[in-house]
Amino acid sequence: MPQTKGDATRRAILEEALQLASVVGLDGLTIGTLAKKLELSKSGLFRHFGSKEALQKAVIETGAEHFIQLVVRPVMIMDSGAEAMPALFEGWLEWSVERMAGGCLFVTAAVEFDDRPGPVRDQVVALQREWLGFIAATAGRAVESGDFRSDLDLRQFAHDFNAILLGFNQVRRLLRDPDAEPRARRAFERLLADAHTVEP
């Protein structure tokens, strides 16, 4: 189905909005600030999105599409369960460092919406559950291939993997500490070593 000009404009707006939201948060992303940045009229933006909440949801969905494309899909099609886990880790680092101007959007969204019931929170929760489920499933593939030990607690592994990413994001974004990445890598290596079957 060919894209209309309106679709292409909407898409271009969402790409800018995604980067802006990663820096100022989804709440900082007002139709006013976005209009100013894009040199568009506020009424034009309203025509595209209708409300701040609709804009927030569309930005999160845009982020999720990019995330799946960059981080999830390459791992899904990998043959080796053992190689999939390091690829997932590297993919997330690339997402957070290279693709998001202000660090991972979902880390920010989790804090902004954890106490605010409503459709945006529901969307963030659903994506976070999907993400933790995908980490656990990827670890499960490594168990099936015999690379990870058979008694590995997949949900615990996913929890620990996620915590490493959160630690990295905070130390990098808040403290601007160049050791954030080597420390996250060491933590990940320890997690992997604990999950791997003992070498014969």
Contact residues: a copy of itself, CB under 8 A: 23-25, 27-28, 102-103, 107-108, 110-115, 124-125, 128-129, 153, 155-156, 159-160, 162-164, 166-168, 170-171, 173-175, 179, 183-184, 186-187, 190, 194
Which is closer to a copy of itself, CB of 9 or CB of 128? 128
Compute the Cα dihedral for 7, 72, 181, 59 and give only its sign.
positive
Which is closer to a copy of itself, CB of 17 or CB of 43? 17
117/137 Cα distance (integer angstroms): 28
Minimum CB separation from a copy of itself for residue 114, in Å?
Answer: 4
Which is closer to a copy of itself, CB of 52 or CB of 183? 183
Minimum CB separation from a copy of itself for residue 126, in Å?
Answer: 10
Minimum CB separation from a copy of itself for residue 145, in Å?
Answer: 23
Which is closer to a copy of itself, CB of 12 or CB of 125? 125
Which is closer to a copy of itself, CB of 11 or CB of 159? 159
SS3 readout for the chain = CCCCHHHHHHHHHHHHHHHHHHHHHHHHCCHHHHHHHHCCCHHHHHHHHCCHHHHHHHHHHHHHHHHHHHHHHHHHCCCCHHHHHHHHHHHHHHHHHHHCCCCCHHHHHHHHHCCCCCHHHHHHHHHHHHHHHHHHHHHHHHHHCCCECCCCCHHHHHHHHHHHHHHHHHHHHCCCCCCHHHHHHHHHHHHHHHHECCCC
Minimum CB separation from a copy of itself for residue 112, in Å?
Answer: 7
Minimum CB separation from a copy of itself for residue 129, in Å?
Answer: 7
Minimum CB separation from a copy of itself for residue 173, in Å?
Answer: 4
Which is closer to a copy of itself, CB of 65 or CB of 179? 179
